[in-house]
Amino acid sequence: MSDWTDKRPMSPHTSIWKWHLTMASSILHRVTGVGNYLGIFIVVAWLFATAVGPDYYEPLSAVVGSIWGQLILFGFSLSISYHLLNGLRHLMMDTGTGYKPKFASFTAGFVFVLALALAVGIWIFSGLVPGVDPLNMTGA
Amino acid sequence: MSKESIRTPLGKVRGLGSAKHGAGHFIAQRVSAIALVFLVPWFLISLIGAVRGGYDNALGWIADPINAVLVLLAVGASLYHMRLGMQVVVEDYISKHSTKNILLILNTFICVVLFVAAAYAVLKVAAI
């Protein structure tokens, strides 16, 4: 028996906590939210550059089209698809369902896999990857 | 002091705590999320088509009235949603009063500037 006498609830001891899927899911939801915050700068820059003219649009296209630009864009896609799908999970949990530990862990893991599949699927099937265009989206 | 209270006497005297605005924030975050569930997939699919055909295609995409309205809805709802989200992140991790307030104001400014820039861009192209 410890000599802890304070009746108030204690915070979880972070040093003796192990990783759970639901915990990783919660943290990743916040991380991807911040990621999307940064990513929308690219979207607004693209809209702005399109409105101002080719002098702005073409350099931006070149940066976004470079290998680093494409990597960042893919990361942004992953971030959006995760936050969107896990957001749906959150909306479901807001109704009070899905809190049983096993089911909550399952949906957390399911969203990880689905988000990755969605982002990769978008890139492959929309013809964004050079040389990969199974649905002939680019009309080549 | 009732037996059930978990607040310390010092905490009661200081009077800090809920500002009674939490429910409104909670609801606004979720209502904008519901809008984004529909807007974001449309935006992504439509945008991929728009970036493919070069500058003229991008211009034509924004100029379409339906696209213009939906782009502003998608960007507007996103910025509203992310302002609420970032506010919570700042409130959670930054305890120093001055830093926290500066970041909260900066968060609002960033979201408003991004929205005005997007609105200017879309209206400049679409509202001719």
Looking up residue B60, the CATH number of its domain turns out to be 1.20.1300.10
Residue B1 has what pLDDT?
47
Q: Do A47 and B6 touch (CB under 8 A)?
A: no
Low-confidence ranges of chain B (pLDDT < 50): 1
| B32 found inside a domain | yes
| B11 found inside a domain | no
| B3 found inside a domain | no
ipTM of the shown complex: 0.87
Structure tokens at A129: 């990857």
Sequential DSSP letters for chain A: -------SPPPP-GGGPPP-HHHHHHHHHHHHHHHHHHHHHHHHHHHHHHHH-HHHHHHHHHHHHSHHHHHHHHHHHHHHHHHHHHHHHHHHHHTT-S-SHHHHHHHHHHHHHHHHHHHHHHHHHTT-STT--TT-TT--
B 49-108 → A contacts, CB under 8 A: 51-52, 55, 58-59, 62, 71, 75, 78-79, 82, 85-86, 89
Residue B10 has what pLDDT?
81
Structure tokens at B87: 């506010």
Residue B9 has what pLDDT?
80
Split into its structural domains, chain B has a count of: 1
Residue A140 has what pLDDT?
61
Smallest Cα distance from A31 to chain B, Å: 10
Q: Over its length of 140 residues, how does chain A's per-residue pLDDT go in tens digits?
A: 577 788 777 777 767 778 899 999 999 999 999 999 999 999 999 999 999 999 999 999 999 999 999 999 999 999 999 999 999 999 999 999 999 999 999 999 999 999 999 999 999 988 888 778 888 777 76
| B31 found inside a domain | yes
CATH class, domain A21-125, is: mainly alpha
| B17 found inside a domain | no
Chain B CA closest to residue A77: B44
Q: Containing domain of residue B56, as a range?
A: 24-127
Q: Do B33 and A90 touch (CB under 8 A)?
A: yes
| B16 found inside a domain | no
| B66 found inside a domain | yes
pTM: 0.88
A94 in reach of chain B (CB within 8 A): yes
Give CA–CA dist B48/A129, Å, rounded: 12
